[in-house]
Amino acid sequence: MGNRRRWWRITVVAVMTALLTWSLTGCWDDKSLDTRTLVLAMGFYPARQPGQIAVYFAIPTPAGLTSDSGSSSSGGASGPPIIILKGVGHSIGQAFSAAQASTNRDLYLGHTIFLLFSTKLSPKALRRLVNALDRIGTLDKTPFVAATSAPFASVMGTIPQEHFPPLYYEELFSCTTCQQLMLGVRFWEMSDRLWTPGVDLVLPLLRPTKQGPAVDEVALYRGTRYVMTLTPKETAAYAIAAGLSRKTSIFFPRLWDTNLDFVADKAHVATRIMHGRLQATLAIHATATLESIATPTETAAQVAAISQKAAALLADQAVSFVRLSQRHDVDALGFGRSLAWSAPAIFSRYRHWHQIYPHLNVSVRAAITINRLGDVR
Amino acid sequence: MAWITERMPRISAGQFATMITAGYLGLGIFYFPRPLVVDAGRYGLYGLWLDGFAALILMRFVFAMGHLIPNETLSGFSPALLSKPVSWLLGFYTIAYHISLAISAVILFSFVLGNIFLPSTPIWAISAALTLTSAYMAYGGVQALARTLQASYIPLLVLTILSVSMAALSIRHPALLIPTTDVALVPLVEGAYHQFVIFIGFQLSVTLYPFVKNTERQQAERYSLLALVGIVLALSMEYEVIMAVFGPNAITELRWPLASTYRIISLSGFYISKLGTLLIVLWTIVIVAFVSVRLWCLAHDLSAMAPRFKYEAALGLMTLLTIGGCLLFPNAKVADLLNEHYLLPLGLAYLVLVPSTVMLVARARPTLIAQLRTRYEPGPDI
Amino acid sequence: MWPWSRQTRLNKTSQQSDAQKPGPHIKAGAARLTHSLNDTQSVLRSISGVDTALLKQLISQTSALNQELNALTQELNPHTSLDQFTGDIEAVYQRLQSGVGQSPDIIIRRFLMGDKAKIPAVLTFVDGLTDTQMIDQDTIMLAQQYDHAFTRHHDPQTIHQVVHDLVTASGHVTTETSWNKLMVKLMGGNTILFLSGSSTALVIDTVKYRARSLTTPTTERSVLGPQEAFNEVVLTQMNLLRMRIKSPNLRFDSLTIGEMSHTTVIVAHIEGLTNPELVAAVKRKLSVAKMATLNIGQELTPLLASRYHSLFPQVRRTERPDVVARELTMGKVAILVDNTPFAMVVPNTLADFYQTLEDYTMSFWGASLERLVRFLGLILGLLLPPLYIALTSVNPELLPTKLVITIAGSRVGLPLPPVMEVLTMWAIIEILREASLRLPKELSNTLGTVGAIVVGTAIVKAGIVSPLMIVIITLTALGLFTSPNYEMATPWRVLFWFLIALSYLFGLFGIILGLLAILAHLASLENFGVPYLSPFGPYRWRDLKDTFVRFPESSLTKRPAYLQPLDVTQSSHWHVDPMPHPQLGQAQKEEQHG
């Protein structure tokens, strides 16, 4: 009895020891931060070779890290805060391996906070990229996404206000009070739009300028095909139509020199069959601050006149954008999606929503509430 | 019989309900609500309720079988009632089935974790760690297991509420919160059938039922049914949130819809920004509970069938089998196939056939039932 | 019992020796033994050229043995056992003188009792453990002067009764005939009075404890609570409890444990309140104790804990009488051990170790805040370093990017991975703690502070650990000691390593598995049938009101459910206010006018 028990105990101890040693041999995922290279941003461009893509990785340098954290131990290290690695291949994996070859540390995607897609990417490449990125488990699905026609290095060029450009973009897009138009699109929203029929992709377009990056344009896609870039004015109209406006200001020189500020709106899209015909409505509801007016105090009649005028203006803008999008056949507002969700049977009858959309009858309603008088936020 | 004295530890009504609740959910939680949405689209919610209703009926059915001989487990009384060969067949079927359930849950969760969290850690290590923890929880016996589950379900409840409300912040299509009224019956039933995998597993009540304190039996059943209703409500909320965040088309493209929904939760201004991702790790509690309840049940049944095996030895054997079984899976797709083509139909068959057979035989042999009842006299309650 | 076990064999031999004890052949045997001893002694005296010191020792020992045996043989007679006191006062004197009397603290006094009767008597006591005034004035003086009863009817066998009834002036006098028991009583500080002719000796309670005075508690301090701690004397401990619970239902049941030490162990409980099954269980568990000495109460914990090998303490030890009194009134059992200034209270749950009396001396707001802080301290102390490892090495994706960049920046150039950082710092902290515990009080404070600051600064400057690590490890070291009970810090300090290893292997997933395993272990513990994890598993709603937060007194009217006391209600009438608005103004007016 005792003998058996002793043997049992010895076996257990031996097995446990073996297991412990075995488990300690590989450090598996235990890689401390200093052995990882944080990829803060990735850029996707067509490569020179046909059918291949070039992937850029923006990574912080040790010098950038120490000067950012303000730790005194390493003194004032100098050098650029980030460097850019490039990998070329048929897929992300190949490009990743190629880039990995040029650094001695593990490229780590867990902190990628910004993804940049070139507008020159082919539709096929873009679809493949999005699917591949979606499969990478370690890659977070919340980074912000943008399109650009400029090279990656110039977009990631120095920005006066921020040490690390990817952080600048991340904060810019996630800040609700610091943008005129809420143009930020997260990666999961992008893939969601690509998977859902009846709605098309719109990405903010980054344009590096001397003063820093300009974010006042958007790129429209049909499916994964890049169609066009809207001008800043058209972008403002898009934002109003899509309910993304936050700080638009409207000036009426003829109407007591009135200035309406902080126009923020919500838009609601509905598509349904009425009397056997497809009928879409776009309802916009905005709030605004009456910032300045020629008279010292405003009367109720003045406010009514101003809001009427402003609503008409918003409706005009929205209509102009809807016409533009129908002309280019890009359903950026999701009229088709609305139909697909409210009447899936009818939507499935259309083979291609893009054949229907240009001829869709859209009516636009707009209303504005002036709810603040003269506060500057 | 030595049996009865060995079974002195008794659990309360609340503990029974907790263990029964831990016994399901583990398998379907990862796909939820994809099977529903793939078949039924926007009216999948009705499918979920249909599932909940079916589970309610089946649970009552299984409990009704428990009333026959309330103080002995099915594996304990089936040799006398159904003859030895049939009871052995049933026993083997039960053991094989439960072990496949455990393996499937472990391997699925290991793949989710391996995919999102621990990309360089081998899957066997994740699944072995998970199974060993479950085995340790089951090692203390039914009372300790029930207490552990009770204690760990408080944080889980809080987290569920927290996660649902945080995910609700990312709702982009509030219009999708209202389900459509034009419903097609066939896809709805199909979706409900495929989603029923989330309720598979409360069969273990046939083993667990005799452990409830004699005075709390009725209450235990009521609690379990109430817990089921609560689970259905919670799942409905999750369904609504996922639906309103992604829309039906995107959900069908997501591999782990619930996990994807949690992963888009990001917080700024806290030490942990990806709180949703953290919550996925906390699912470990659900899976460990699922597996440990299963292992307890398996070890108990095995030692009932073959008294040579002590409970601890049986538990060790079952743990090794589970870990070994996990090694057979090269990827998560295989586990998907196993679930869909074998575990789901076989589990449903068990739920329907076993109680009905047992009850039919019992009706045919009332004297034997009376005899068995007196043989397994209720022991003193603790 | 196993028939070949050591215990049985021992029992057998002792039985045999018992059987041989009385009998006429002993006398001859003993005489022969004495003879041979005398011979050996003389032989030994004549030996030379060996170790003289050893020899001298041997000689003195044999002569002492000789004396003792002489005394025994003198007293031996065929009809009584050795243990029985015969009434032969000279034999008693010899026996005492040659036995216990050889140590200098035993005083043996011969005197004649009664002014006229002059009965020979022997009195013995331990010098220092007894009150000499009581012996001098209340016993010897009275006995020598007493002069009534002896002259009239002088029956030697009842004389002790006369002395008991009429002579001695001490409060507590008992009688005893067994020599062995007498000796134990003597060593306990009693005075033994042997009277010529009487086979019964008188045991006079003259015990005077040399006790430390009552001091303030040092291990469990309280701001607003009572400032009194137990001392080593079990009688004082009982007194301190009686002062707090004046009910006659407070029972102290006495046991003696230790074949050599004869330590008094008191099982305290309240009759009619404490579950009798619990009291019986405690007594039965203690009654099986077989040990030579019981020096400190801690030695009894293996008997009282259900799974002694568990890391977690199951017996709560406290030096505060107010805590013990409160626990007794809740329905627990307290165990007091002589010479141990800590009382032991059973049964306990995990939550009990996080409750202090302090919580009940302040408002429920303050108490709840303190409870939450303790919980936070536990969480931080246990989880911060494992989380640091998990979040910086295994799962950095969970942290905000800015924080990751800060941490990565602070780790640039560090040679060691986070695990080694934690291990290094923890080793330093533990060494500092141990050293400051052992040093004299005056030095330890200085060492602790200076050590922490100097080492901390230096090790950061040296570039071995990051500054963040210092913050984390300091919080950890402090956090684990927010537990009001010192013992409760130990399990967490050990489990900390377990969690470190798991977080190194599996990151956050490992930590959660580890916590589940700890929870499972806690759930499997039971102490006297009380689940250790109660009221969290099993849920006990009534008891949950006094865990993470303390509810107001008015809602804590019931005693803890897990103790299953006979009387559940603890307090009531919280909602009755017999005089809601005292008419102060009216009373003043009436006083002034009339």
Tens of pLDDT, residue by residue over B131-142, are 999 999 999 889
Query: In angstroms, what separates the C-alpha of C232 from chain B's closest C-alpha?
Result: 39
With an 8 Å Cβ cutoff, are C520 and B148 in contact?
yes
Considering chain A, what percentage of its residues have pLDDT values greater than 90?
43
CB atoms within 10 A of CB C430: 12
Chain B residues touching A174 at Cβ < 8 A: 268
Q: What is residue B382's predicted lDDT score, i.e. its pLDDT?
A: 37
- Integer Cα distance of B39 and C420 in angstroms: 53
pLDDT (tens digit, 9 = 90+) per residue, A107-164?
Answer: 899 899 999 999 999 999 999 999 999 988 888 888 999 999 999 998 888 787 778 8
- Closest CB from C397, C401, C408 relative to A65: C408
Q: pLDDT band for position C29 (50/70/90)?
A: low
pLDDT of B220 reads: 93
ipTM above 0.90, yes or no: yes
Above 50 in pLDDT, residue C224?
yes
**For the segment C443-459, what is each residue's pLDDT rounded down to a tens digit?**
777 777 777 778 888 88
Mean pLDDT of all residues belonging to chain C: 83
B6: pLDDT confidence band, cut at 50, 70 and 90? very low
* CATH number among 3.40.50.300, 3.30.300.10, 3.40.50.10210, 3.30.300.210, domain A241-377: 3.30.300.210
- Using one digit for the tens of pLDDT, what is the confidence trace for A274-318? 888 889 999 999 998 888 888 888 888 888 998 999 999 999 999
Residue with the larger pLDDT of the pair C55 and B35: B35
Higher pLDDT, C75 or A94: A94
The predicted structure's pLDDT at residue A158:
76
**Tens of pLDDT along B65-77?**
888 888 888 888 8
CB nearest C506 (choices: B121, B140, B143): B121
Distance (Å) from the alpha carbon of C508 to chain A's nearest alpha carbon: 11
pLDDT single digits (tens) C373-421: 999 999 999 999 999 999 998 889 888 888 898 888 888 888 888 888 8
Percent of chain C at pLDDT > 90 equals: 22
pLDDT band, very low/low/confident/very high, at B183 (cuts 50, 70, 90): confident
Distance CA A212, CA C30 (A): 114
Contact assignment for C398 to B152 by CB distance below 8 Å:
no
Q: What is the mean pLDDT of residues C173-193?
A: 86
Residue C2 has pLDDT above 50, yes or no: no
Contact list in A for residue B120 (CB cut-off 8 A) is 28-29, 31
> What percent of chain A shows pLDDT beyond 70?
94
Instruction: Name which of A309-313, B335-339, C161-165 the model is least confident about.
Output: C161-165
Name the residue among C319, C278, C307 with its Cα closest to residue C529: C278
Cβ-nearest to A29 among B115, B120, B247: B120
* Residue ranges covered by each domain of chain C: 89-204, 234-348, 361-544
Three-state DSSP class for residue B211? helix
Chain A interface includes B268 (CB < 8 A): yes
Is the Cβ pair C536, B277 closer than 8 Å?
Answer: no
Q: How confident is the model at residue A78 (pLDDT cuts 50, 70, 90)?
A: low
Are residues B34 and B42 in contact, defined by beta-carbon separation less than 8 angstroms? no
Query: Which CB contacts under 8 angstroms, 24+ apart, belong to B297-303?
Result: B297/B98, B297/B204, B297/B207, B297/B208, B298/B95, B298/B98, B298/B99, B298/B102, B299/B138, B300/B73, B300/B75, B300/B142, B300/B207, B301/B73, B301/B75, B301/B91, B301/B94, B301/B95, B301/B207, B302/B95
pLDDT beyond 70 at A24: no
Provide the residue type at C401 as one letter: T
Residue C462's pLDDT is 86
Looking at per-residue pLDDT, the higher value among A23 and C134 belongs to C134
Contacts of A140 in chain B (CB under 8 A): 263, 266, 274, 277
Under the phi-then-psi rule, with left for phi > 0, alpha for psi from -120 to 50, and beta for the rest, what region is A271?
beta
Query: According to the model, what pLDDT value does residue C94 have?
Result: 86
Question: What is the model's pLDDT at position C75?
Answer: 61
Chain C partners within 8 Å of A36 (Cβ)? 396
User: C74: pLDDT confidence band, cut at 50, 70 and 90?
Assistant: low
Mean pLDDT of A171-189: 87
More confident residue, C46 or C274: C274
Cis? peptide before C538, omega within 30° of 0? yes
List chain B residues with CB under 8 Å of C536: 150-151, 154
Strand partners, A147: A117, A205
What is the tens place of the pLDDT at every residue in A226-244? Answer: 999 999 999 999 999 999 9
At C77, is the pLDDT very low, low, confident or very high (cuts 50, 70, 90)? low
Confirm if C531 and B10 have CB atoms less than 8 A apart.
no
Of A214-223, A280-289, B269-278, the one with minimum mean pLDDT is: B269-278
Query: Does the beta-carbon distance from B253 to A195 stay under 8 Å?
Result: yes
- CA-based nearest residue to A156, from A110, A213, A216: A213
What is the arithmetic mean of pLDDT over A72-101? 80
pLDDT of residue C63: 79
Domain extent listing, chain B:
9-371
Per CATH, the number for B9-371 is 1.20.1740.10
Q: Which residue do the tokens 């029985």 mark?
A: C84
Q: Which residues in chain A are contacts of C401 at CB distance < 8 A? A: 40, 111, 113, 167, 170
Among the partner-chain residues B113, B130, B278, the one whose CB lies closest to the CB of C398 is: B278
Q: Select, from the ranges A238-242, B351-355, C434-438, the one with the highest average predicted confidence (pLDDT).
A: A238-242
pLDDT tens readout for residues C121-136? 898 999 888 888 888 8
pLDDT value for B1: 35
- Section A194-205 average pLDDT: 92
Q: How sure is the predictor about C325, in pLDDT bands with cuts at 50, 70 and 90?
A: very high
List chains touching B (3+ CB pairs under 8 A): A, C
Query: B97-151 pLDDT, tens per residue?
Result: 999 999 999 999 999 999 888 888 889 989 999 999 999 999 988 999 999 999 9
Q: What is the mean pLDDT of residues C7-22?
A: 44
The pLDDT-based confidence of C5 (bands split at 50, 70, 90) is very low
pLDDT of residue B152 exceeding 90, the answer is: no
Looking at the complex, does the CB of residue B273 fall below 8 Å from at least one CB of chain A?
A: no
Please give the biggest Cα pair distance in chain B. Answer: 70
pLDDT over 60 (residue B91): yes
* ∠ CA C267-C269-C274, rounded to 5°: 135
Q: Look at residue A106 and tell me whether its pLDDT is greater than 70.
A: yes
SS3 for A362? strand
For chain A, give every domain's residue range.
30-229, 241-377
- pLDDT mean over B60-85: 85
Q: Please state, in angstroms and rounded to a whole number, the distance separating the CA atoms of residues A202 and A331.
A: 10
Contact A69 C417 (CB under 8 A): no
